[in-house]
Structure 1
């Protein structure tokens, strides 16, 4: 056996081991970080539909490390109201994005959640409390009832995502390619009722 053959065999073995490790990474990352819509409903009050929801945010190790290194993360709720139709795709009647910025302040050892739509912010001593507050949606106005046809039926769709567009440049590029940064819940759908 020549040195070239041994090197070639070793290279193939190392390549196979490396590929096996890479293949296992997304599965591990998805177990670590996850967003789930636990519950959601709408209520009609004074001619406006309001959203109430409970979202569970679990950050991946990569997102958590970035947060604790001073990178602000944006948690986005994507809300869509669509008309239900039989034979065609459901047209969107309204689309709303509710965005929260999550930051860790190392000096004070506090987590700050800022509603990017309203500017309101709150400070928390633990990450759990901060994520819990961001995941509690109470009476968020989503659509005026006057914009809906009374004879039609509508659905509300809700999804939570980690928006990587606001992450600093080099890290953003990495976030687009690494599954550990692709945190999004499944779409949660229910009928819009008064």
Structure 2
């Protein structure tokens, strides 16, 4: 085990290296476009007693996220799905919560953008960022819940939200992202009724 002086020197070296990398991310123009996550549509369909989610989400990254992606940072897109039962005189009850994670990365050697579904492991590559973001924003036939678990005499609704997950960033960048609001890319909650 190293001496306290060597450990301190190593720690300062790591912090300095992290700050050098992050300074490039902070040196972006102040008038950079804001990123936007917007859920354009969402609905459920029922097939053989199972409810499936279909949605269209518009992803526009801000300059900080684009710069991080170009520098090799993997961006994780978190899709939160919340099924609730309406209750009179009490808060609505959560019936099911699902989390769908997709990663977007840039492969500098091939010049391609990679989209990986962390739930299934499925991966696709795209020639342009626009095509990769469009693919991320199309949700088709994602199973949500078996209809047998729902009471037909009750009312239910679904909520959907998409967020750029800053918790998956590398250490120094994660700390920076917590303090700078430019990293907080998220859609509003999109809500609709589910009829069992």
| Partner SS state of residue 32, structure 1 | coil
Matches of 2:114 and 2:182 in 1, distance apart? 23
Quote the offset at 1:28 in angstroms. Answer: 5.6
Quote the offset at 1:101 in angstroms. Answer: 0.3
For residues 2-46 of structure 1, give each alpha carbon's deviation from its aligned partner in whole angstroms, at most 9, with x where no partner exists. xxxxxxxxxxxxxxxxxxxxxxxxx966x5201000000001111
Matches of 1:99 and 1:28 in 2, distance apart? 30
**How many matched pairs?**
168
Alpha-carbon contact 1:77-1:97 (below 8 Å) kept: yes
Question: Which of 130, 145, 153 matches 2:132?
Answer: 130
- Cross-structure match for 2:90: 88
| Partner SS state of residue 54, structure 2 | strand
* TM-score, length of structure 1 as denominator length: 0.84
- Cross-structure match for 2:42: 40
Alpha-carbon contact 1:43-1:193 (below 8 Å) kept: no
- Cross-structure match for 1:154: 156
Matches of 2:134 and 2:115 in 1, distance apart? 10
Moved over 3 A (4+): none
Two-structure CA RMSD over aligned residues (Å)? 1.5
Matches of 1:76 and 1:131 in 2, distance apart? 13
Segments of 5+ residues of structure 1 without an aligned counterpart are 1-26
Quote the offset at 1:146 in angstroms. Answer: 1.0
- Cross-structure match for 1:116: 118
Larger Rg: 1
* TM-score, length of structure 2 as denominator length: 0.83
| Partner SS state of residue 75, structure 1 | strand
| Partner SS state of residue 129, structure 1 | helix
Alpha-carbon contact 1:42-1:193 (below 8 Å) kept: no
